[in-house]
Structure 1
């Protein structure tokens, strides 16, 4: 689909008027159905199904636009949204950058808001896409690296050519060369026929090498040769085969550090990172969480054939402030879980046990982790979570005391995003102004 356009369907390839016209054409054609052959009837049925899919897509897009324009569904949790650091995320310059991407019809199979870091990554991808230069995408697990690779492929000159994805960390070392470059019949036990490798399959197209940091050194040498000579050799053959393949690699590890440790070839790193794209973690893109919840909620409802699930204010507040260590992938899985387990409305009880917040007074639970407020034993995960929450609260209170209640200074000392720090303070009910007063009282006593 096109990049998210908050102003409606003006630039969309689909429109309600266009759909109505298609429906009228289909209806007039169906009047002659008794005279049609079976093949023609099947063709009409396929057209009908495609039309239905277009209507559903428009419906999803309309709901998404409403969610983004209002950001609301957010009226359920206004305080949570106020705690987001919006001035930067919704700055006019960021809005103009997004509008420019939309105007240039840059294809992005997903959704995004005004987050400056993601916009910067998309702009780099847009400029790199028409070229054949290698691209290295890094970022935490679950941030959408494979999606970005598909974006680069879809916007390049090779978009109609093959796109082959390879998970380098999932291939056994002894089969790596055969998987990437293919083999000849009889090259090893079990090679009963000639076989193309991934690079041959991606000839004239794009090959995506996911988890490139897991590639063993022997495989790195072979890959470097492909980048330099643009040719491969099948296992068991001395005949070189020319390949014209655009390489996009991704990793959640720091390849520069791995190079310094001797675990990744430095020359290969520089070959792969001609264009370098870094995807921000979801905790750095909190302005997009409401949009993603709406998008995945509709996606899950479509797959499960039910209405999109509603969220209680408490659950929405939790989803907006949770740290999301698994990033977008974790958010998607949680929304799908909520859509499956809840009825019309999802609440905190439908969350996975390992992230569900502990109810009841925090300090009492922390002091006696073996029992809850009713004297019943807590699970180990509850005890761990309570202890972690108490330690987090103590850390924040100590930090605010040391900085005189200055949130910006504490964020700088901890190398933490200020909006994320504000969310943590809200989570624990801590008010920075209380520490400013305490700091002033301490200074008066000292004088």
Structure 2
């Protein structure tokens, strides 16, 4: 408690985020303390962890009053880094690190305001962008943070067991039901239930879920007795639910029930400033899990990790760091990367056969990404040609946000004006020149 006493003596207020930061620093120092036995270190780490858990429960009311207060400038007009600093200064609980990407900060600020309510939240984004982490952030910053958090992967439950898994069953309700069993909703009573991959839930399960959202009651399989449940609903998907609605595989009324608050997480390739932070964070996390010092990178490996596209997003980066920490020991090089993403050795960069092998993809993964980019560019050009260069119309046809479409056009160096009626599309050489 010395760290708290010192701060109290100054008479200044210390935010929950600052306390957590100091506790994490203390834990890092203890982890590699040379003069203490491992038994003593583990005991101190456990005490620091308990203190950290207590701090996370403090001052919810004050935190939300601060979050609701006005600011001198709109958040979008604050200098780079200031939005992130102010968010943490408001005692925003976040397990991990994040950068200054505006789209991510938008999502975090919406989550901060939504957390103290009981409104349903729908989170979408590509696989591996951190949707479950965002669900835990909403739970940790809400009034239910000391209550259960139950996660359900809707895509991993067989169709025949969905109702039993979510709502439970009575003994003898079906073959194999030897005892009464609670469902996920009962287990999450008073807390938060996270419905991951909600787009994978079949239509019969969607009907049952909609009834629960409307009545706040469930019925176990094999029972007519209603059971009241009080759960905060957070759902996530990597699919376009509006497209699934149009195809008839997702209920529109359920979509609107779930998406009272709607968050979109940007992919890691749009959050390049975050990669160095994540590399350091997961290197430390892997070191703690493997009971060894954090792995170091050769310059070539670091350059690769900073510039790699990460199609699997944050999850892929985390798994890479665990792999490197396990296989490399103290110093990791590109040879410790998975073979399908490993760059070509430097000695082969010019090609041993003299036919320009440097222009070829250096790995299967890179070849797939190049092919995907080419298909994406061809689709955008064909679409712009069909709509006469109208970005708004193409966005409407593709059910895509206009700003996201503009970003894709900029990525490929495509100018919509080149496709307006009466003007032919640019030649390949001109397009490549525009892209650079």
What's the TM-score, normalizing by structure 1?
Answer: 0.67
Query: What is aligned with 1:51?
Result: 44
Across the two proteins, how many residue pairs are aligned to each other?
Answer: 340
Q: CA deviation at 1:304?
A: 1.5
Aligned residue runs from structure 1 range 44-443, under 5 A: 49-52=42-45, 92-359=78-345, 360-361=347-348, 364=351, 384=364, 414-417=408-411
What is the alpha-carbon root mean square deviation over aligned residues? Answer: 3.9
- Post-superposition Cα deviations, 1:198-254, rounded to whole Å, max 9, x if no partner, equal 111111111100000000000000000000111011111111111111110011101
Over 3 Å counting, the alpha-carbon distance change for 1:336 and 1:228 in structure 2 is same
Structure 1 segments unaligned to the other structure (5+ residues): 1-7, 24-44, 59-89, 374-380, 399-410, 420-434, 441-447
- What secondary structure sits across from 1:301 in the alignment? helix
Greater CA radius of gyration, 1 or 2?
1
- Post-superposition Cα deviations, 1:368-421, rounded to whole Å, max 9, x if no partner, equal 89xx99xxxxxxx977467668879999xx9xxxxxxxxxxxx968535599xx
Paired with 2:229 and 2:366, the residues of 1 have a C-alpha distance of 56
Query: What is aligned with 1:11?
Result: 18
- What secondary structure sits across from 2:137 in the alignment? helix
What's the TM-score, normalizing by structure 2?
Answer: 0.69
Paired with 1:9 and 1:155, the residues of 2 have a C-alpha distance of 11
- What secondary structure sits across from 2:234 in the alignment? strand
Paired with 1:9 and 1:276, the residues of 2 have a C-alpha distance of 27
Paired with 1:243 and 1:366, the residues of 2 have a C-alpha distance of 69
Higher relative contact order (CA 8 A, sep 6+): 1
Over 3 Å counting, the alpha-carbon distance change for 1:389 and 1:162 in structure 2 is closer
Over 3 Å counting, the alpha-carbon distance change for 1:439 and 1:256 in structure 2 is closer
Q: CA deviation at 1:11?
A: 2.5
- What secondary structure sits across from 1:176 in the alignment? helix
Q: CA deviation at 1:145?
A: 0.6
Contact kept? 1:366, 1:390, Cα under 8 Å: no
- Post-superposition Cα deviations, 1:20-40, rounded to whole Å, max 9, x if no partner, equal 9xx9xxxxxxxxxxxxxxxxx
Q: CA deviation at 1:314?
A: 0.9
Over 3 Å counting, the alpha-carbon distance change for 1:277 and 1:46 in structure 2 is farther
Paired with 1:343 and 1:176, the residues of 2 have a C-alpha distance of 44
Q: CA deviation at 1:49?
A: 3.8
Paired with 1:321 and 1:111, the residues of 2 have a C-alpha distance of 19
Q: Which stretch shows the higher mean deviation, 386-395 or 313-322? A: 386-395
Q: CA deviation at 1:52?
A: 3.5
